[in-house]
């Protein structure tokens, strides 16, 4: 299923033209993951596998609840478990559902060199269109959250689609449907932000004074947001970035140097052409051949009369 045009694109990778955008009455959506209500049951992981027909190969046990150990082409969402000792010396079991954050300013899309391999719909979902993907791995370098994974089998990049196929027909993502505690919610970004606000008020009243919403401004906000009990320290949640933004290196590589490089290449071709027009070809003249022949016979004469210090006669007679 490549492109049913069920939703509008607002961004299309490696494209300079405006994508189809007439159907503009779409709300921005968001998935809200309330980490404080998560019990770590992995129903979301199972639902993701089931809806998307994904079966990761069986891995190995490494002494952690994380299973599998990392995202992979078959694992688009993953519960990451952290045992955190708080200031009072008490254990807190932090469980974060990791996966694509669906950035409003997606670094993967910015880095992608293949036209239409990564798109962003008007509702904010960032989606990989596999048939256009060339497997270069630039999206991995562009992503501030280290999410996309390239399959070594088909050389395509994979990540959470936010169930764009379900959302397009008015369903909620599979993980949301499966969550038994209501820790994962889906709706318009505004509704989700409002609901998160209520949750944060409640958490603060229970002593989590740093509770807050993770909707990082460095990527213009995300369409997957977290409610965190310790929003001042996102990194304690299995390395959630403190202030994610597209790397300056990637911005430079995908920004300024592209036009400057093409201009430089074009300028050197033009300079060559102008030189050709102004100075013209550098041709050997009959005079050069005469001088050369003169020198050759001079040297031959010297060699034959034994004046040449290098070698005796012979040579190129």
Partner 1 sequence: MTRPRGTLIRHPTVTRINHWITATCFVLLMLSGLAMFDPLLYWLSNLFGGGQWTRAVHPWIGLILVVSYAGMIVQFWRDNLWTKDDLAWVRSFDRVLANDEEHVPEVPRFNAGQKFVFWSMALLIPVLLFTGLLMWEVYFGRATSLGTQRVAILIHSLAAIAAIIIWITHVYAGIWVRGSVRAMTQGYVTPGWAWRHHRKWFRALAATGSPGPTPNARDSEARK
Quickly list DSSP for 111-123. Answer: H--STTSEEEETT
Residues in CB range of 236: below 8 A, 6 or more apart: 82, 84, 94, 230
**From candidates 89, 281, 305, 306, binder to partner 1 by CB under 8 A:** 281
Pairing of strands 157-158, 149-150: antiparallel
Helix (H, G, I), strand (E, B), or coil: what is residue 277?
helix
What string marks each residue from 104 to 133 as x (binds partner 1 by CB under 8 A) or -? ---------xxx----------------x-
Show contacts with partner 1 in window 248-277 (CB under 8 A).
249-250, 252-253, 257-258, 261-262, 264-265, 268-269, 272, 275-276
Instruction: Candidates 85-93, 205-213, 216-224, 308-316: pick the segment binding partner 1 (CB under 8 A).
Output: 308-316
**From candidates 46, 201, 256, 295, binder to partner 1 by CB under 8 A:** 295
Helix (H, G, I), strand (E, B), or coil: what is residue 35?
helix
**From candidates 4, 16, 57, 90, binder to partner 1 by CB under 8 A:** 16
- Confirm or reject binding of residue 241 to partner 1 (CB under 8 A): no
- Confirm or reject binding of residue 135 to partner 1 (CB under 8 A): yes
- Confirm or reject binding of residue 299 to partner 1 (CB under 8 A): yes
Instruction: Candidates 58-66, 119-127, 199-207, 285-293: pick the segment binding partner 1 (CB under 8 A).
Output: 285-293
Which helix (H) or strand (E) segment holds residue 263: the answer is helix 257-278
Alpha-carbon distance of 7 to 31, in angstroms, equals 18
φ, ψ for residue 214 (rounded to 5)?
A: -100, 100
**From candidates 27, 152, 215, 226, binder to partner 1 by CB under 8 A:** 152
According to DSSP, the residues that pair with 97 across neighbouring strands are 79
Show contacts with partner 1 in window 54-113 (CB under 8 A).
113
Assigned token pair, 168: 């397009």
């Amino acid at each position: 299923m490549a492109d049913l045009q069920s939703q509008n694109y607002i961004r299309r990778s490696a494209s300079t033209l405006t994508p189809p955008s007439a159907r503009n009455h779409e709300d921005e959506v968001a998935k809200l993951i309330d980490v404080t209500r998560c019990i770590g049951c992995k129903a979301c992981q199972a639902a993701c596998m089931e809806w998307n027909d994904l079966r990761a190969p069986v891995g190995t046990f490494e002494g952690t609840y994380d299973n599998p150990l990392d995202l992979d082409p078959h694992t688009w969402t993953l519960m990451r478990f952290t045992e955190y000792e708080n200031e009072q010396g008490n254990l807190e079991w932090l469980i974060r559902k990791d996966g694509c954050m669906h950035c409003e300013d997606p670094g993967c899309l910015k880095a992608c060199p293949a036209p239409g391999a990564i798109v962003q719909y008007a509702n904010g979902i960032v989606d990989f269109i596999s048939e256009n993907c060339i497997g270069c791995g630039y999206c991995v370098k562009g992503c501030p959250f280290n999410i996309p994974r390239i399959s070594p089998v088909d050389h395509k990049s994979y990540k959470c689609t936010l169930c764009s196929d379900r959302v397009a027909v008015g369903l909620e993502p599979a993980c949301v449907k499966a969550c038994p505690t209501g820790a994962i919610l889906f709706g318009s970004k505004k509704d989700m932000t409002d609901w998160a606000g209520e949750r944060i008020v409640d958490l603060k009243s229970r002593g989590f004074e740093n509770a807050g919403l993770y909707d990082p401004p460095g990527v213009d906000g995300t369409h997957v947001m977290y409610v965190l009990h310790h929003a001042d320290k996102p990194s304690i949640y299995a390395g959630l970035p403190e202030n994610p933004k597209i790397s300056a290196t990637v911005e430079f590589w995908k920004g300024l140097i592209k036009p400057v490089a093409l201009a430089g290449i074009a300028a050197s071709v033009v300079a060559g052409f102008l030189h050709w027009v102004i100075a013209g070809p550098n041709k050997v003249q009959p005079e050069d051949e005469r001088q050369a022949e003169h020198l050759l016979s001079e040297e031959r004469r010297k060699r034959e009369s034994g004046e040449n210090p290098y070698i005796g006669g012979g040579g190129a007679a």
